[in-house]
Structure 1
Amino acid sequence: MAETVQYYLEQMVPELEDLERKEIFTKEEIKSIVKKRTNFEYALKRRPAQIIDFLKYIEYEMNLDLLKKKRKNRLGIKGRVTISDYSIKRRIYHIFDRAIIKFAGDVKLWVQYIEYAKNEGDHKMLSKIFGSVLQLHPTNPMFWIMASKYEYEINTNIMSARVFLQRGLRLNHDSHQLWHQYFKLELIYVEKIKARRKILGISNKDDESNDESNDESNVERKDSQNFIEITADDDFLKTKKLELKGLDNLPNLDDDNLLLRGELAKVVYSNAIKAIPNDLSFRKEFIDVCQELSDTNTIQEEIYESILKDFENNPEALSYVAERHVANISDVQSVEFVHAIKNSIDEFQKCIETLPNDEMWYLFSKFLLKYSRMVSEPNLIAFLNKKLLKTYKTASESNLASSQMYLDWINWILEKEESNSNDTIKMKGLLTKATDTWPNSSKLWEKRINITISLNDNEGENDSIDELYKLALKLNPTSLILWDSYISWIFKKFKNGDLKDFELEKLLLVCNKIYDCFYFLFIY
Structure 2
Amino acid sequence: MERVQFQQEQMLDELKDLVEKKVFTAHETKKIMKQRSSFEATLVRRVAKKSDFLRYAAYEMSLEHLRRKRVDRLKIPKTPVTVSDFALVRRQFHIFERALKRFKSDVGLWIEYIQVAKREHARSLLTPNSALQLHPKVPALYILAASHELDHLSPTAARSLLQRGIRLNSDSIEMWTEYVKMELSFTESLRRRWDILGISQVETRDQDATPDPDMTDENTNSTDSPAPKDAEMDRLNQPGAEGARARRQILDGVIVKAIMDSAVQALPRIELFESLNKLITTYPSTPVLRASLIAHLDNLLRSTLFEHPRAIKILYTRLLTSTADVASQASTSTNANVEGLRGQALIDGIRRANEMLISVVSETRQESVRQVYAEFALEWCAVENLDENLRLYVLSSLQALIWRQKSSSPSLLCAHIKLMTEAAQRGTVESAKVLAVARRYTSRAPGVASVWLSRLGAEKVLNDSVDAVAKVWHESRRMVSADDGNLVDIWIWGIYSEDIQEKRLNLFEELLNESMGDPSVHRVHEQLVLGYVTALYQCRKGAKTGLETDQTLHKLHHMQNRFVSTGKVWQRLFELEAEGSGDERELERVYELWRKSDMVEATLGWAEWLLKNGKGKEGSELIVRSKGSVGEDEQTALETRWVGVVGAI
Q: TM-score normalized by structure 1?
A: 0.78
| Aligned mates of 1:375, 1:72 — CA distance in 2 | 58
Greater RCO (Cα-Cα under 8 Å, separation 6 or more): 1
What is the RMSD computed on CA atoms of the aligned residues? 4.1
The residue matched to 2:382 in structure 1 has which SS?
helix
Specify the alignment match of 2:121 in structure 1: 121
**After superposition, what is the alpha-carbon deviation per residue over 1:480-503, rounded to whole angstroms, capped at 9, x for unaligned?**
333434655799696499x79997
- Answer yes or no: is 1:395 the counterpart of 2:402: yes
Listed as ranges, the matches of 1:207-356 within 5 Å are: 208-209=209-210, 246=232, 248-251=234-237, 252=239, 253-254=243-244, 257-276=248-267, 278-291=268-281, 292=283, 293-294=285-286, 295-296=288-289, 297-327=291-321, 328=323, 330-355=339-364
Higher mean Cα deviation, 449-458 or 154-163? 449-458
| Aligned mates of 2:355, 2:507 — CA distance in 1 | 60
Deviation at 1:364, TM superposition (A): 2.6
| Aligned mates of 1:271, 1:91 — CA distance in 2 | 43
Deviation at 1:5, TM superposition (A): 6.3
| CA spacing shift, 1:18–1:500, aligned 2, 3 Å | closer
| Aligned mates of 1:139, 1:350 — CA distance in 2 | 43
Unaligned residue ranges in structure 1 (runs of 5+)? 211-244
Give aligned pairs, total. Answer: 483
Specify the alignment match of 2:488 in structure 1: 480
Q: 2:164 aligns with which of 162, 167, 172?
A: 167
| CA spacing shift, 1:95–1:355, aligned 2, 3 Å | same
Q: 2:471 aligns with which of 463, 469, 479?
A: 463
- Confirm or deny: 8 A CA contact 1:14 1:83 kept in the other structure: yes
Deviation at 1:10, TM superposition (A): 4.6
| CA spacing shift, 1:77–1:3, aligned 2, 3 Å | same
The residue matched to 2:145 in structure 1 has which SS?
helix
The residue matched to 2:202 in structure 1 has which SS?
coil
Q: TM-score normalized by structure 2?
A: 0.64
- Answer yes or no: is 1:516 the counterpart of 2:565: yes
- Answer yes or no: is 1:144 the counterpart of 2:193: no
Deviation at 1:32, TM superposition (A): 1.6
- Answer yes or no: is 1:68 the counterpart of 2:58: no
Q: 1:438 aligns with which of 430, 434, 445?
A: 445
Identical aligned pairs, as a percentage?
25
Specify the alignment match of 1:95 in structure 2: 95
Specify the alignment match of 2:383 in structure 1: 374
Specify the alignment match of 2:432 in structure 1: 425
| CA spacing shift, 1:196–1:337, aligned 2, 3 Å | farther
Deviation at 1:95, TM superposition (A): 0.5
The residue matched to 2:314 in structure 1 has which SS?
helix
| CA spacing shift, 1:492–1:464, aligned 2, 3 Å | farther
- Confirm or deny: 8 A CA contact 1:357 1:400 kept in the other structure: no
| Aligned mates of 2:504, 2:181 — CA distance in 1 | 66
| CA spacing shift, 1:25–1:183, aligned 2, 3 Å | closer
